[in-house]
Every structure is written in structure tokens, then in C-alpha cells.
Chains A and B, each alone.
Chain A
Amino acid sequence: MIAIVDYGVGNLSSIKNMLKKVGAESIITKDISVIKSARKLILPGIGSFDYCVSKLNESGCKETLISQVCDSKIPVLGICVGLQLMGKSSEEGKLQGLGWIDAACVKFKFPNSDLLKIPHMGWGNVFFRKESKLLLNMYPDPRFYFVHSYHLECEDPGDVLLTAHYGYDFACAIEKENIYGVQFHPEKSHKFGMKLIENFVRL
């Protein structure tokens, strides 16, 4: 059973739809006992950084989530702001992230701001930075759907799994031990997202 952590933000049924499509059972929940018994965790997120942090703080399941990921080493996949929460902080807000990765979130900055719109919204190609089970048998020319104004900057380049290009190269997926995170939306990225989700299920 995969638990999609429902701390009160975002559109979770798309993630559940994609898990169903790859044949995985999932549950949208903030129930501590369900999160404790889950084999895998998905941490979604949409909206502003501080909004997500405060909703997670209020959810009553944050401590359980932390102990499952950090002590029990249950694989976790952060999506969009769910990935950003895994870093230490964000330029978008004042609250602290989970700090699972040595990274901070920064806003896209372009010298010529007329050329590129923020948020970055649309499909982008991704480039592999290391080998990973999450990317096993990925289709050629992989592309994913992005909607974001902020992106992660990792202190350890070894944590970066994928980069994408929007004005410049930025980390769009990370992997550190049992912690995985993607800035894009695999649940809305056709066969590419389906393969990534399927690989996560099979970890």
C-alpha cells in the first residue's frame, strides 16, 4: 500500500489515478496508523511554500512522516512543492523545510526577464545526472510537465538526479538514499510519468 500524504493541499486524485493505472494500490490519508504501515509514501504539494509547511505542521502527521522517512527509511517521493519541502528553506517563505536534503529553494531569475514567463509552465526535457532505479527503462527523449516559479538548488551535486533547462539548467529531480523528489508532475506526464511512478512502486 502506498500512502499519498493528505495534509490539506493540492490535487491528489491525479496521483491516485496514475498509481491505479500502473496497478498500485494507494490511499489518500493523513491517518498516522496508515502512514506507519505504508510501504511507500508520496508527499504532494501545491501552492506557496509557507502555506504547505504550515498545513503540514497542522496536519498532525508530520512527526510520523519524519520518523518513517528518517528512521525507518521508507521510500518517499516528493512532487512539486512536496520536493521543495524536502529542502531546508525557500526564498518564497520564512518557514523551515524538512531539511532532508541540503538544498534551498530559489526563484527563477533571468537577466532578460521579458523572454521567459514565470511560472515556468509546460513540458520540458530532462537530462540524467546519475543512474537510478527511478529512471529504469525510461523512454527516449523524456519530457515532463512543469508548473513552478521556484526550484531547488542542491549543495551536494551528488543528490541531483535530473536537470531541466529553463533559462538555465536547474535540478528538477533529486535522490538521496530513500528520499526521492521531482519538481515536475509525473502524474500528468504521459508514459514518461507513468514509467517513473511504476519504477517508484517497484523500488
Chain B
Amino acid sequence: MTRIRVIPVLLVQNGGLVKTVKFKKPIYVGDPLNTVKLFNDKEVDEIAVFDISATPNNRPPDFTLIAELAGECFMPLTYGGGITSLEDIRKLFNLGVEKVAINSAAVNDRKLISSAASMFGNQSIVISIDVRINLFGKHRVYSHNGSKNTGYDPVNFAVEMEQSGAGELFINSIDRDGTYMGYDLNLIEKIANAVQVPVIVCGGASSVTDFGKAVLKGASAVAAGSLFVFHGIHKAVLVNFPSQEILKEKLYSIKSF
């Protein structure tokens, strides 16, 4: 039995928690601190909090909020959003964050990645890569919360990020965000085959079965947003997480080492 990390992803926008569809139409789903406490009580493996309003507004991380969240997380916490300097990263680790996710800054500032990795250890540096399929059917990396096309091919970009010192890659499919269409398995397979570091997949999960499919394509960990905050066809807000029994039966059993 191999435990696969299952990671709820929470999106913060202007201090509240939201969930998007294809990175748009944010729906308010609750208070961040309260929601983190609920996930903590459910003993989730890890939690990722992304402040999606930081970079688009040229704003640094909300350190006060993050300190409160870290105080309630008795599991690893990844934070992303608005990180542009080593000082930001140092502050986040001092607050009790385990890993930082860098997205927009990674596009222009490889030095930030390599310096952060050598200073804090690459296991704590996650590069978050948002991917959209363009009109010609090609995968492209987007930054600034999905608003800027960087022109990069995600596989090449992933390899470059690994070489710069990324300890993990968090791959998010913009086209599948909030759609329950399942993960972009083709993309995961290509990236996982190209790098050695763990690949976390996000965007489109509708069930534990989707998690298993991604793991068989090479994902080391699986993440989801809507699946863990909504319930039923009317998408009522309800924090939920699969039980250990279900994970053991349907996920941990698919790969054994």
C-alpha cells in the first residue's frame, strides 16, 4: 500500500474563500480560517492555499491571514500568491508555512527559484504551473492567475523549473478548473515523464477514481478544489474529504512498492 497525497486547494480572494470555474466566476465558499479548521479536523494530508488576488493586484502575501491559517494547520501547508522575493519566502516559513508555491515570479526570475532552493532546500519550493490549451490545440503556460500567456510549452517549462531548483511541480489545468471533467491525463503523463521531482496534478477532479487515473499516469500527488468544497448537483457548499477506508480501497491500492 502506498499512500498518495490528496490535497485540498483553497483560493483566497480579497480575504474570502472562493472557487472558480476555468479561473473565472469566483463563487464565495466561506471564511478561510474556518475552512482550514474544518479540513484540519478531517485530517487531510496537506493543504494548499493560493491567494489569487495578490499578483493581479501587485500585492504581497497577506502575512497576517497566513499566520492565522498556519496556526490551525497540523498538516503541511503550501502557500502561493504574490511571492516575489526571498524575504517573502523567509517570512512565510517563519510563520509556519512548509512550502511556498511560486507561479508568476518563476516566469521571469529563475534566480529567485535557485536562490530559494539553495537557501531553504528544494523540498520546500513548489513551482505552480497554470496551463491552458490554445486555439491550435497546444498546451501553453499562463501566469498572473491565468491572464497572461507566457508562450512556454509546459513540458519544457517544467524541465527548466526542475533544473532551477523546484522541488515539486503543481500543474493546474485552467480549462478543467471547476468543470469535474477529470484531470488532463495527457499533460500529466508528458510532464511526469520529463522530470524527476514529484508532480502534483490539479484541475477537473470529480472523484477518487480520477485521482487513481492521474497516479497511473505518473502524478505523485493529487489536488482538487470544487470536489472538496461543493456537494451534490446544486453545488451546495460543504467541506468534505474521502475517508481513509475509501482512499485505501480505491487509491492506495493501485500502486504498490
Contact = CB atoms under 8 A, between A and B. Distances in A.
Interface of A: 11, 13-14, 17-18, 21, 46-48, 115-117, 119, 121-125, 141, 143, 145, 147, 166-167, 185, 187-191, 193-194
Contacts of A21: 74
B5 interface: yes
A141 B248 CA distance: 12
B94 A13 contact: yes
Given A115-B257, A123-B45, A189 B120 contact: no
Contacts of A185: 76
A122 B74 contact: no
B210 interface: no
B150 interface: no
B45 A47 contact: no
A125 B247 CA distance: 14
Nearest to B92: A11
B197 to A, nearest CB: 7
Given A18-B74, A145-B76, A194-B74, 4 more contacts: A11-B97, A121-B5, A143-B3, A190-B40
Contacts of B93: 11
> Dominant SS at the B interface?
loop
A56 B207 CA distance: 47
B230 to A, nearest CB: 24
B34 interface: no
B15 interface: no
B257 A188 contact: no
Interface string B159-188: 000000001100000000000000000000
A193 B43 CA distance: 12
B47 to A, nearest CB: 11
A125 B3 contact: yes
- Most chain B CB within 10 A, of A116, A122, A147, is at A122
Interface string B101-125: 0000000000000000000110110
20 contacts: A14-B96, A14-B98, A17-B96, A18-B74, A47-B121, A48-B121, A115-B257, A117-B196, A119-B123, A119-B167, A121-B5, A123-B45, A145-B75, A145-B76, A166-B257, A188-B76, A188-B98, A189-B74, A190-B74, A194-B74
Nearest to A123: B3
B96 to A, nearest CB: 4
B198 A121 contact: yes
Interface in B218-237: 220-221
A109 B149 CA distance: 40
Interface in B86-100: 93-98
A194 B95 CA distance: 19
Contacts of B96: 11, 13-14, 17
Contacts of A47: 120-121
Interface string B1-22: 1011100000000000000000
Interface in B59-88: 70-71, 73-76
Given A11-B93, A117-B196, A187 B74 contact: yes
Contacts of B197: 117
B205 to A, nearest CB: 18
A17 B198 contact: no
A188 B5 contact: no
B244 interface: yes
Contact of B75 (A147, A166, A188): A188
A132 B139 CA distance: 54
Nearest to A10: B93
A75 B40 CA distance: 30
Given A145-B75, A188-B98, A122 B221 contact: yes
A172 to B, nearest CB: 14
Contacts of A167: 257
A121 B169 CA distance: 13
